Amino acid sequence: MGGSLPILPLRDVVVLPGTPMPLIVGRPGSVAAVQAAEAASGQVLLVTQRHGDVVEPREADLHEVGTVASLEEVIALPDGHLKVMLLGASRARLGPVTMDGSARMLRCTPEPMAAQGLDHPDLGAMVRMLRESVGRVLRLDPSAPAEMLARVEDTPDPEALADLLAATLQLSMEERQALLAEPDVKQRLETLLAAMQKELGFLEVQRKLRHRVDRDRERRAEEAWLADGTSSDTPRDEPDNDDRDDLADLVGLLRDKELPEEVRGRAERELRRLGRMNPMSAEAAVLRAWLDWVVQVPWVERSERLGDLKGAAAVLDEDHFGLDSVKERVLEHLAVDLLAPDAHAPILCLVGPPGVGKTSLARSIARATGRPFARIALGGVRDEAEIRGHRRTYIGALPGRILHAMKRAGTTDALLLLDEVDKMASDVRGDPASALLEVLDPEQNGQFSDHYLDLDYDLSSVMFVCTANRLDDIPLPLRDRLEILELGGYTEPEKRSIAQRYLVPRQRSQSGLPEDALTITDDALALLIRRYTREAGVRNLEREIGRLCRKRARARLEHDDTASITVDPDTVVDLLGPPRFDPRVADDQAEVGVVRGLSVGYAGGELLEIEVALVPGSGKLRTTGRAGEVLKESAEAARTWLRARHARFGLPADWHETTDLHIHYPGLPSGVEGPSAGIAMATALVSAATGRSVRAEVAMTGEISLRGRVLPVGGIKDKVLAAWRGGSRLVVLPARNERDLRDVPEDVRAALDIRLVSMVDEVLDLSLLDADPDGSSEHVGAWSASDAPQKRPEGDRSGGSVLDAPRLGVKSRGADDAQGG
């Protein structure tokens, strides 16, 4: 502040130190002052004019004390004015004022003003009294900013506190200028205490008057309520007819609505409150909306449930093909519901890949049980209030999705579908999965509390059905409350049956074609399933059938072709173009370091090829092909297992230090993750390290432990189906997954040789070929599905166990072949 500063004269406003102030600057001299400050130090002297109507003030028109302020932001407006954000810094007296004639701008060298009285012993008590007064003002004046008390508490300096309150209180411009010009801090605080006491007195009188008016209005509204059962919203001589009609409607709805006693008592109290309110007030609108929700949500209404088990079974069979385990569970529930109507409804979770019919199955369950159906889409939901609702204190508050669904259903025993529960997320707004814990817990959902209604709501009679694509993505506490029913992918015969029974007739009808206009052969459907779609369900298959029907509909209109056609494979290619997918089939050629694993992704079971190559290096392990963390951990476990057994395979003790391993997953399907590729990786590693080829007809799945044990995995049905579709003849599974084979269709089990193993050594015996002395791999003994199940006698080594083969190190020809890829 040592040099000359441009002066910015102010009309009808006083800026105090520490106070931000936005201004619109338009007078030529003021614009010039801002531009000069911006080009120099960024500081300007703010001085209030004695008379605001002076357009070009001179020194005599300005007060003697002003505020040095810094320019925080300057924005040029289209009309030539400037929008300026200033921040007051310190008090200063005007020095000799000069006029810059060309710019018509005033300048001076300000004289700093030092604060006085900072060491006075009464300052602490005065500061405390001011803070208490601010708290009383906030209690009496609802319009006062709530954060004001926090700002006062966070300002310990008496001088800064005085400037803060002087800028905040309802003071005239003259009073603020006097506080700005006062150097004694104690005197400033005394002035502010007097102003605060004056404000408190005014607020106290205002509070008493308001209380008296409210009490009189309540008395007259109560008299109107007792007189005719309705209430005008305000005590007027001529009540508004629309307001009275609205209240009369609410009274009638509440009178006719069957409600629990607690809910009725709360609703009637709120209705009386509404009758005493001004209908134009915001609180009246909130209260009216709350009462509307109370009378619209079902509290005791129940549906007329079906009591015919055979009829329910017929409905399920009519709507869906297969899915016997799910249908059986639904019929069990219906039987229990008939015998014990007050029993808790089940909470089912249908887990399966997209397109297998989870959502449509939930609709069928509702139809079979006679329950109203409502769907809640949870994909992408990340706010807890989506489940529990917002409290009424928020603007635009509403109940959560649960009560919205109950309102649509209209009864307390509806079937609510919670769709895509595995795709919820969480952030700073809360965790919706945690909010669902109360909803899906039979011991708690009888008193579900929505934040908006703030009343206990009984969900114990609701039948909840959840759907998910991946069980692992559901949080464990939520999963613990669900009865899991897994829906695997469909086999090709099942897809053909579904297409002929459901998809073709539906798409034909939606395309406006008569029943005899188009017929699709089983061979054409097989081509669509194998080469035009790749999925566990039938959603994309229905799309392709729909394309065929639409093309036929267009041909009927354009060429007046009303003849019936039969779609065969050639017609499919003509209408839809070349096939999109090559079939995932096992290669016929046995290779070194290449193993066919089995996986489950978003599209169901997949035949997964795993390639391993050994190259000279320093012992690094590299995985490529979009491998996830669990796949990488499985690769580490397989390598550690092989390192621990290097002598049994004829490998040098330091082979892992001089050899890099590269594991690649070509064409890894989306969503594939998990430990089930462990034995496939171990087999590929042994094959690459010893030079033995892997039989091309073998597919395998299973987790590996560091001790070489084969651990159970999930998705057995989908994986076996993938092996069958891919042309594998021998499938290696963990022995502890034997119980899961009952879910595999009988015709698929009959077509495959399924081997159950407990140790990795058994896997190697089944999958690796022996090597000739010249290093080439060959099949020792002709393997076939007929003789494979036979167990080799003890001591007989003719089967070519890899543990009994000649020991080959990484320098052998087999290792060189592996390094060559």
> What pLDDT digit, counting tens, does each position of 131-149 carry?
888 888 877 776 677 677 7
Q: What is the 3-state secondary structure (H, E, C) of 287-333?
A: HHHHHHHHHHCCCCCCCCCCCCHHHHHHHHHHHCCCCHHHHHHHHHH
Q: What is the percent of the chain where pLDDT is above 70? A: 87
Q: How confident is the model at residue 239 (pLDDT cuts 50, 70, 90)?
A: very low
Residue 484 pLDDT greater than 50, yes or no:
yes
Residue 795 pLDDT greater than 60, yes or no:
no
Distance CA 777, CA 594 (A): 14
* DSSP string of 365-425, one letter each residue: HHHHHT--EEEEE-TT---THHHH---TTSTT----HHHHHHHHH-STT-EEEEETGGG--
Q: What is the mean pLDDT of the chain?
A: 81
pLDDT digits (tens, 9 = 90+) for 597-646: 888 776 677 888 889 998 888 888 888 877 777 788 888 888 888 888 88
Distance CA 341, CA 312 (A): 17
Q: What is the DSSP letter of 12?
A: S
Q: Which two tokens stand for residue 498?
A: 């579904």
Number of H helices, E strands in the chain: 28, 30
Residue 800 pLDDT greater than 80, yes or no:
no
pLDDT digits (tens, 9 = 90+) for 269-293: 888 888 777 777 788 888 888 988 9
Beta bridge partners of 202: none
Give pTM, 2 decimals. Answer: 0.58
Instruction: Compute φ and ψ for 419, nearest 5 degrees.
Output: -85, 135
The whole-number average pLDDT for the span 535-547 is 88
Residue 225 pLDDT greater than 60, yes or no:
no
CB contact at 8 A, 538 and 585:
no
Nearest to 699 by CA among 582, 584, 586: 586
Residue 224 pLDDT greater than 80, yes or no:
no
Q: What is the percent of the chain where pLDDT is above 90? A: 17
CB contact at 8 A, 588 and 540:
no
CB contact at 8 A, 681 and 638:
yes
- Compute how many other C-beta atoms are within 10 angstroms of the C-beta atom of residue 698: 25
pLDDT digits (tens, 9 = 90+) for 415-473: 999 999 988 887 767 788 888 888 888 888 888 889 898 899 998 888 899 999 888 88
Instruction: Compute φ and ψ for 202, nearest 5 degrees.
Output: -65, -45
Residue whose structure tokens are 């709120």: 270
Q: What is the pLDDT of residue 605?
A: 77
Check the CA dihedral 169-172-177-178 and report its sign: negative
Distance CA 141, CA 199 (A): 10
Q: What is the pLDDT of residue 530?
A: 83
Active site positions, annotated: 676, 719
The whole-number average pLDDT for the span 223-243 is 49
Q: What is the pLDDT of residue 84?
A: 92
* DSSP string of 783-800, one letter each residue: --TTTTTSPPPTT--TT-
Task: Report the Cα–Cα distance between both ends of the chain, in Å, rounded.
Answer: 77
pLDDT digits (tens, 9 = 90+) for 29-79: 889 999 888 888 889 999 999 988 888 888 888 999 999 999 999 998 888
Q: Which two tokens stand for residue 630?
A: 């669990």
Instruction: Compute φ and ψ for 251, nearest 5 degrees.
Output: -60, -45
Distance CA 382, CA 426 (A): 5
Q: What is the pLDDT of residue 368?
A: 85
Q: How confident is the model at residue 92 (pLDDT cuts 50, 70, 90)?
A: very high
DSSP E strand boundaries for 707-786: 710-711, 730-734, 753-757, 770-771, 777-778
- Compute how many other C-beta atoms are within 10 angstroms of the C-beta atom of residue 379: 11
The whole-number average pLDDT for the span 213-217 is 73
